[in-house]
Structure 1
């Protein structure tokens, strides 16, 4: 999350907010965002993404011009509002009105979550039996708890009330706000608006990204630990996040040894224990049929992303791991073995040289996520929202927290 704020009160003072250097950075940021959005609008192969790019580019250009030409205390808020209008509000309104008949190619995640919820209601499992699997979208690479975002539609709600996109976005906003309030960020609502005005979050927010609630839970867990308390609640947040998507696991790998080093084994065990219970409990509630036979879960959530099923995932951004896994004989085995070696090496390093502050832990998470997403057999550029969000969140963390033992 690209948070427009920091825990340093001096840098957040009114004078600092209007300093020429800060203003220049904001102009540069809006300009880069406009260039990115224009590129998406021009080159995206999916109509919904191209539509977002065209709307967002206009909003970011307007925000840059406001920041450049209007030297008034209200300029920063006005520019943020322009960016938010162009990158979030306008594309969403367009999808409901003039763009409601656009092709939904590339929005398979919403279809998968909606179907998973229907299967859960009807059969007690969000996964299709193996003999009914056909193309990539017949598989569900998400953990059972993510199914809750499709339940409104499965229970009879139509339109936006039944669209998983709505609930992904609301969960991200609520969790983001709770994170900022717990971190005691200055002007949390404005900071949250600035974060969602950035292309890093605006694009998945508009398209209905499944990573939003996962990232929100990870950020909330980090915030709970950053203030030196609530290890159990932080574990619950991380546990549910990991149960939703395996992409959250690196956060847990980093935070457990950090808690041992900072607060001692008792609090580390409270964090880990509550996380395991939350993951198992939330999965059992949202996939009760899996208690008797978890093979469908393993097939969908583990084997499918690793390209070990007959149906191949469409997550195919040309990163090194994906290129080797698909273009060379035996490439999948090579990349899976490399990932295993990498994760073992990471775990050894984290226990031998654990972070002693949440700020350092967040930096470690960002590096691990960048490595994993670069080497994974199936990946998307959008996954890099994880390390980018951690780098933004790091600006809001307190400098030091007194260890609790």
Structure 2
């Protein structure tokens, strides 16, 4: 239609609609969003094989059910001309309920339930924490006492199994150090569960990012994507490492956007040294730092120097303790070349294509390569000019990698969702029409 705004601009306005938006399309979006979340949470509560997932599902069903009712009430009130006021009249009300009921409460219950000590049983219906939590806490204990978070799987005296592996970089073990140091008693174990550390790290990164951006007014749609969506809430309650990592990634982008190239490289080194899946973000941030106004080669040198030096400093001591174990855990196992094959698999396109046979495996990796080439072309032809642009490119790149890689999990989709939410928040901070205090975040050096 002539004169109609492009679909992506209409969607951006929808996500950026004000918290009190009676009669707007935003309320219809809210209703659809919480209905979709409810459709995910209810089956999870009823049929998931994992105990922690089922516990989360019950809490989340109540939280998203409230979101449906609240959004429906706001929409009905808008149509009848009765505009609600106060807390209940805000679209943020449902997000607050999701944060409390679908995130904080199930995490607290599962932490207490974990004290029964049944997590290591090969019975997913009894797990109060997903295996990555146990693995990271064990890695911290190994790092503390042996100088490496990686066990030699050839010296176990038995065939290795999946849970013997720590498929993360050495930085991930840091999140388990509180339990390794202060755990051992029921109270100590409850207070030092690695999920609390992941959650605190994620919250600290959010607050640090908002401070760097001069506290912009975060759109409700951004919070829905980054905070209230089921993948974020579920990850928060049963696992958590991905939220800490994506939080650090957003913080690295905020540092780059505000002219702190060296600090951005340092934080990105922490990210890459914790989980290699986010390594492609380095290319995006490097290009962004180079093309950012007033930056150029000097800023790029600071960024790359900090990134490379910090990465080497974090990896080299662990590598020297046991090079074979380092390679086995960090590279061979995730690539499916270890003594035990990684069980990571979800019905995503890359996995489904690879499962068709040898030709399918080649095709899946070819698609990953094609996606990488497409991203490089996008970066060269349309380099990111702002922090929001950089986040969008990282979100698209990681999303393509997760969808097309043969061995992956659907839970990793939390990365592009959180990054898209952060992209919307950065757009507000970088908006030329924003108040000076907000606008300065995008241009200060």
Match of 1:162 in 2: 192
Alignment of 1:337-348 (within 5 A): 339-340=368-369, 342-343=371-372, 346-347=375-376
Greater CA radius of gyration, 1 or 2? 2
- Is the CA contact 1:258–1:356 (under 8 Å) kept in the aligned structure 2? yes
121, 138, 141: which is aligned to 1:118?
141
Query: Quick check: 299-308 or 191-200, which moved more?
Result: 191-200
Provide the C-alpha distance between the structure 1 equivalents of 2:219 and 2:200, rounded to a whole number of angstroms: 14
Residues 154 and 100 of structure 1, relative CA distance in 2, 3 Å threshold: closer
Q: Is 2:86 aligned against 1:73? A: yes
403, 413, 416: which is aligned to 1:374?
403
Q: Is 2:208 aligned against 1:175? A: no
Provide the C-alpha distance between the structure 1 equivalents of 2:373 and 2:321, rounded to a whole number of angstroms: 31
SS at match of 2:273: helix
279, 287, 294: which is aligned to 1:249?
279
SS at match of 1:244: coil
Q: What's the TM-score, normalizing by structure 2?
A: 0.79
Q: Is 2:47 aligned against 1:43? A: yes
163, 166, 178: which is aligned to 1:152?
178
Residues 181 and 39 of structure 1, relative CA distance in 2, 3 Å threshold: farther
- Specify every segment of 5 or more residues in structure 2 that has no aligned partner in the other structure, as ranges: 1-11, 75-83, 117-124, 433-441
Alignment of 1:316-395 (within 5 A): 316-329=345-358, 332=361, 335-336=364-365, 339-340=368-369, 342-343=371-372, 346-347=375-376, 350-351=379-380, 353-395=382-424
How much does 1:327 deviate?
A: 4.8
Q: Is 2:151 aligned against 1:128? A: yes
Residues 20 and 55 of structure 1, relative CA distance in 2, 3 Å threshold: same
Query: Quick check: 32-41 or 195-204, which moved more?
Result: 195-204
| RMSD over equivalenced CA pairs, Å | 3.1
Match of 1:137 in 2: 163
Q: Deviations over 1:70-108 (max 9, x none)?
A: 623311243333222321133123324568656118711
- Is the CA contact 1:177–1:188 (under 8 Å) kept in the aligned structure 2? no
- Specify every segment of 5 or more residues in structure 1 that has no aligned partner in the other structure, as ranges: 1-6
Query: Quick check: 132-141 or 19-28, which moved more?
Result: 19-28
Match of 1:3 in 2: none
Match of 2:263 in 1: 233
Provide the C-alpha distance between the structure 2 equivalents of 1:97 and 1:151, rounded to a whole number of angstroms: 19
How much does 1:120 deviate?
A: 1.0
Query: Quick check: 327-336 or 296-305, which moved more?
Result: 327-336
Match of 2:77 in 1: none
Residues 139 and 326 of structure 1, relative CA distance in 2, 3 Å threshold: farther
How much does 1:333 deviate?
A: 5.8
Give the number of aligned pairs. 393
Match of 2:3 in 1: none
- Is the CA contact 1:182–1:224 (under 8 Å) kept in the aligned structure 2? yes
Q: What's the TM-score, normalizing by structure 1?
A: 0.86
287, 310, 314: which is aligned to 1:282?
314
Provide the C-alpha distance between the structure 1 equivalents of 2:210 and 2:375, rounded to a whole number of angstroms: 29
- Is the CA contact 1:307–1:332 (under 8 Å) kept in the aligned structure 2? no
Residues 307 and 334 of structure 1, relative CA distance in 2, 3 Å threshold: farther
- Is the CA contact 2:219–2:424 (under 8 Å) kept in the aligned structure 1? no
Match of 2:236 in 1: 205
Match of 2:344 in 1: 315
SS at match of 1:378: coil
Provide the C-alpha distance between the structure 1 equivalents of 2:23 and 2:402, rounded to a whole number of angstroms: 37
Provide the C-alpha distance between the structure 2 equivalents of 1:209 and 1:347, rounded to a whole number of angstroms: 30
Query: Quick check: 302-311 or 79-88, which moved more?
Result: 79-88
